[in-house]
Every structure is written in structure tokens, then in C-alpha cells.
Amino acid sequence: MHHPLHRAQTVLAGIALLFAAHAVWAQAPHTVFLEDLTWTELRDQVHQGKTTILVPIGGTEQSGPYVALGKHNARVKVLSQRIAEGLGNALVAPVIAYVPEGGTAPTSSHMRFPGTITVPDEVFKKTLESAANSFKVHGFQNIVFLGDHGGYLKDVQQVVAQLNKNWASSGAKAIVPEVYYSTSSDGYAQILRKHGIRDDEIGTHAGLADTALLMAVAPQMVRQEAMRSGPKVGQADGVYGGDPHRATAELGQLGIDAIVSKTVQALKAATAAR
């Protein structure tokens, strides 16, 4: 027969476990990714002031024989996470991985290489517009588009202009920080030159710059052994104006840090000016 004191201790221990479990269930995860939150957690965070949403735009395209097709998607997700954390009042939407990449009949641009996915410009722009209106309905005031690929930046700028026209009296604002892309392209090229990297290595697509940035955030997506020992690659291989052989994660981190810091600074200024 159980002693009454032991029985009481067991009951109290059970109650304590119940409260501890409830506390765990009630606590929202420490994440900036919208996808990892429940709708009630999201609602509460918006009410508490997280009213900026970053919309990462990637793209599924060839990047030469040494870099995986999801380069832009992986890179923009990590960059968006770091930028959101730097802002402190922002969340990150799901990555948009389906973007304009050329024609299918006949194939053009990156569509000449297997694995690239394209959508028409109008479909892409409608997707951005619909996503932005969804976020606005749910209480976000700053909808920020971060485009990791230069080919669709004009489309994004057109969408942002139209949204801001439509939202003129609503208090919501669409933003495309130009510094995000300029720092990842021309700005990063300047950094690389200071570290002894030549222009014929840097490249405009799948060269050293592109590859190093990816190595800093997702090294498993770069076929490093083949890249180091393989022959020089060119346009026929999908590499434009560059040579990735000397790319390193350390060089890439210089660019990642610059993109994050400059974009955070620009967005703080843009949202504070409202």
C-alpha cells in the first residue's frame, strides 16, 4: 500500500510536469522564418511589432558544372535570415524559386541547360503582387523584396511601384533595396579585387564571385574537388566571364557580410523614414 505522502509527491510531480510541458508548447520557436510559425504565433508577433516581411526571390537555374541548380534559393534564404535577425522586427517569407529564366520554344538564356525552370514575366509579377497583398492583409506594413538574380530586377521594381501606387493611403509600403543586389555584384567585385582576384576570375555568372558566395552559406552545393582539378570552363559550360577555380568560403564570407550589413542599414533607413 502506497504511503499518502508518497502519493501526494507523485501527484505534485505530475502537475509540475504538466505545467512544464504546457510552457514548452506555449513558447513560440526562436525563428524568423514564417513557415516555421503557427498562424497564432505569427499573429502575435505581428501585434508585437514584427511588421516587416522579407520576400526572398531566388531562381532555379544552371550555374555551370560545379554549382547546384538551387544556388540562388539557398543563398537568398540565408541572407534573408541574417538580414531579418539584424533588423530585429522582421520575418522571412518562403523563397520564390520559380522565376523568369528565358524561353522554352526555342530555348534561350539559361533554359538551354537542363534543370533550369522558367515562368513568364507576367506570371512572376502576379505572384509577387499576390504575395504582397497577402502579407498586407495580415498586418505587415513593410513588404521587402530581396532579388538574388539580376535578370528579373526590372520586374520586381515595376511590381513595387504599382503596389505603392495601390497602397498610397493604406500605410503599407513595398520596398526593393537596390543595395542588396548592387553589393552582391559590383560591390562584391570591388572587395575581391582588393584581395588579388582578377576580373577574368570574378565573372558575371557562375564565376569565382558567384561560387564563393555560395560556398560561404552552402558549401555542399559546390562540387569543390571537381572544380579544383577540372579544366577551365566557359560559356559553353554555363560560366560567363569568370573562372571559379580559386573560390573559397573565406572570400565568400566577405561578400555575405557586406550584403547583410549594407541591406540592414538601408532597410532601417527606409522603414524609419515612413
By DSSP bridging, strand 173-175 and strand 142-147 are parallel
The CATH number given to whatever domain includes residue 254 is: 3.40.50.10310
Say if residue 192 is exposed, middle or buried (CB neighbours under 10 Å; 0-12, 13-18, 19+).
buried
Q: What is the pLDDT of residue 29?
A: 85
Nearest to 32, CA basis, from 264, 274, 231 = 264
Residues 6 or more apart in contact with residue 85 via CB below 8 angstroms: 32
Q: Does residue 12 form part of some domain?
A: no
- pLDDT tens string 74-100: 999 999 999 999 999 999 999 999 999
Number of H helices, E strands in the chain: 11, 6
Cell of 50: 514584427
Nearest to 129, CA basis, from 157, 155, 163 = 163
Q: Does residue 142 form part of some domain?
A: yes
Q: Does residue 165 form part of some domain?
A: yes
Distance CA 17, CA 256 (A): 44
Q: Does residue 9 form part of some domain?
A: no
- pLDDT tens string 135-167: 999 999 999 999 999 999 999 999 999 999 999
Cell of 265: 542599414
Residues 6 or more apart in contact with residue 226 via CB below 8 angstroms: 65, 66
If one counts the domains in the chain, the total is 1
Band of pLDDT at residue 274, cut at 50, 70 and 90: low
Q: Does residue 197 form part of some domain?
A: yes
Residues 6 or more apart in contact with residue 261 via CB below 8 angstroms: 86
Q: Does residue 210 form part of some domain?
A: yes
Look at the pTM and tell me if it is higher than 0.85.
yes
Q: Does residue 183 form part of some domain?
A: yes
Range of the domain at 253: 34-272
Q: Does residue 18 form part of some domain?
A: no
